[in-house]
Amino acid sequence: MLLEVDELHVSYGRVAALRGISLQVDEGEIVTLIGANGAGKTTTLKTLSGLRAVAAGSIRFDGRDITAMPGHQRVMAGLCQAPEGRGVFPGMSVAENLAMGAYSRGKPAEADLERVFTLFPRLKERQKQAGGTLSGGEQQMLAIGRALMARPRLLLLDEPSMGLAPQYIQLIFRIIAEINEQGTTVLLVEQNAAQALAVAHRAYVLETGTIVKTGTGQELLGDESVVAAYLGGGPG
């Protein structure tokens, strides 16, 4: 297992955000975590990246216990994230944002830049433009491209389709599949459950800080309660 999360508890003050979730991601998989707003999806990814303190439970990455490892060291260990809201550095150019992605490796490698520009030709055209002036879809491309610059073993993606126009949503999910085919393992958090389940090998359903269901993407796409709650069945 590349990532093993065991009975993870996280709280904000007295409010429990995660109540003992366990999940695994194997090398080469796309695993998705779906759930409603406030279910704890973003908290899970932030905790995996070391931005939130763990109250109880453990995180193992590549056989190593990283529960107490500082966030910046996890990047070097191979765990990278394109955060919710994209987190593009607004005052930096596209090129500088990409260089920040390679920060943990020192200088950005030409081969990595080539790879990102092949996936997202738009970024190559806009290299000199400030990150803050890009459209939402372009910022998402930049956030994913930037995470790839660190050559992650596990790529964490938090709501990559949020707020995007339909053609961009299609593009982003196609790219996620492509990145995975090139050998990067992906843990994807999404509200767009239909698309996420379609692209994922396996999935977990998160409700109020607990995992209530797991299965392959196809299984959950056919699951009545999942359809009702997350696939346009209701306001859920």
Partner 1 sequence: MSNFVNQFWASTIDGLTQGAIYALVALGYTLVYGVLRLINFAHSEIFMIGTFATVGVISAAGITSPLAGVGLLLFVLGAGAVAAVVSGGSAVVLERVAYRPLRRRGATQLAALISAIGASLFLQQAVSIWVTSDARTTERVMEKVNLLTIGTGDLRADKLLVFVGAMAMMILLDRLVSGTRFGRAIRATAQNADTATLMGVNIDRVIMITFLIGGAMAGVGGMLYVIFFEVTNFTVGFVLGIKAFTSAVLGGIGNLRGALLGGLLLGLIEEYGASVVGAQWKDVIAFSVLVAVLMFRPTGLLGEALGKARA
Question: Contact residues for partner 1 (CB under 8 A)?
Answer: 46, 49-51, 70-73, 75-76, 80-81, 83, 87, 89-92, 96, 99-101, 103-104, 106-107, 132, 146-147, 150
Enter the tokens of residue 43. Answer: 């908290």
CB contact at 8 A, 225 and 212: no
Q: Nearest distance from residue 132's CB to partner 1, in Å? A: 6
Q: How far is CA 234 from the centre of its chain?
A: 26
Q: Nearest distance from residue 194's CB to partner 1, in Å? A: 28
- Considering the complex, state which of residue 44 and residue 195 has its C-beta at the smaller distance from partner 1: 44
- Considering the complex, state which of residue 148 and residue 229 has its C-beta at the smaller distance from partner 1: 148
Q: Nearest distance from residue 179's CB to partner 1, in Å? A: 17
Q: Nearest distance from residue 215's CB to partner 1, in Å? A: 30
Q: What is the dihedral of CA 106, 110, 113, 118, to 10 degrees?
A: -160
Enter the tokens of residue 219. Answer: 């299984």
- Considering the complex, state which of residue 4 and residue 96 has its C-beta at the smaller distance from partner 1: 96
Q: Nearest distance from residue 87's CB to partner 1, in Å? A: 4
- Considering the complex, state which of residue 66 and residue 205 has its C-beta at the smaller distance from partner 1: 66
Enter the tokens of residue 32. Answer: 């998705």
- Considering the complex, state which of residue 39 and residue 147 has its C-beta at the smaller distance from partner 1: 147
CB contact at 8 A, 77 and 61: yes
CB contact at 8 A, 151 and 112: yes
Comparing C-alpha atoms, which of 4, 75, 84 is closest to residue 43?
Answer: 84
